[in-house]
Amino acid sequence: MIKHVDIVCDLSWGDTGKGKITNYLSSKNRYDVVARWAGGNNAGHTIWKGENKYKTHLIPSGIFNNTLSVIGPSCVLNEKSFYEEIDYLKESGFNTSLVKVSPRTHIVLEEHIKEDKERLYNKLGTTAKGIAPCYASKMARTGVLAKDVLDSKYILKQEELSGKILCEGAQGFYLDIDWGNYPYVTSSITLPYGACSLGFSPHKIKDMWGITKAYDTRSGNDPLFPDTLFEDKDLYALGLLGEETGVTTGRKRKVDWLNLDYLIKAIRISGVNILVVNKCDVLRALGIHKLFYNDRIYEFESIRKFTDFINCELLLKTEVKKIHFSFNKEQL
């Protein structure tokens, strides 16, 4: 029986540090399961354990805290990449027997990757990992399930999860197939209600953690983030300070000032009650503190006034109850 569920989701365009927060929560709380509900190896999480940095693309961050880590039925899985990630984690000393895959997870085939590279990569700036074609096969009822091809030792035997569950999202709110800037979106549900696909009632949800950064970034093509952003010297410097390079693709991310209107909308629709604003230390190091709000740009003389303004507006205009401004890559 499921006792309660906590959810970690991204309120922006991805790359906000969800893995860091999932790792933090799973190290502090006694979760029985950490589970991922969407996407495939088109995502990327960077985890710090002490002085060591680890990068994963599909396996949930619970693995870093010796917790059962489940890849859910709404995910898609590339066999080769999955086994490479298993080997990488095993060589790094982690217990990969804790990694399990839902038998209903769909498999990314070579034909999906080929189609992605030929039809979608240049047009939409996808990761060329075959994600969209795999989801298309799933919806066309022609897909291949994990239970039919994956090593059985990684297949989740008991489909119904139990105990205390932490759900780890992928990508971000504005990459959601329904709520993003279509067609410049991902092919899955990134909003927290998608976590229910793991097999639990919404009534079991306790806390929903929404993650964003002190500035906005975007990987891939999107008219909301034009290439001209690379020409702004302050934003370019911010990107360098924040090491804004995609974990999965290695592409340099486009950087812009935080859009508070978009953040408020994402909080209201997703219903998160706890907010984490990561990389405040990066903005402080730049020494320029700007954001967009109500169709104008605001500039603040200090990071404290910047965060105080955000705190005041969000507590006033959303139902979020707690806001954490993070100044450290490893901690809240």
Catalytic residues: 15, 45
Angle at CA of residue 127, ends 35 and 256, nearest 5°: 90
Exposure class string for 157-185: b at 16+ Cβ within 10 A, else e:
eeeebeebbbbbbbbbbbbbbebbeeebb
CA atoms within 13 A on the CB side of 273: 7
In this structure, the number of other CB atoms found within 10 A of the CB of residue 229 comes to 18
Nearest to 200 by CA among 37, 10, 22: 37
Burial of 117 (0-12, 13-18, 19+ CB in 10 A): middle
Q: Where are the beta strands (DSSP E) in the chain?
A: 2-10, 33-36, 45-49, 52-56, 68-71, 76-77, 99-101, 106-107, 163-168, 205-213, 215-218, 254-259, 274-278, 289-293, 296-300, 322-325
- Pair 76, 131: CB distance under 8 Å: yes
In this structure, the number of other CB atoms found within 10 A of the CB of residue 80 comes to 11
Q: What is the pairing mode between strands 289-293 and 215-218?
A: unpaired
- Pair 58, 43: CB distance under 8 Å: yes
Nearest to 19 by CA among 30, 29, 8, 28: 8
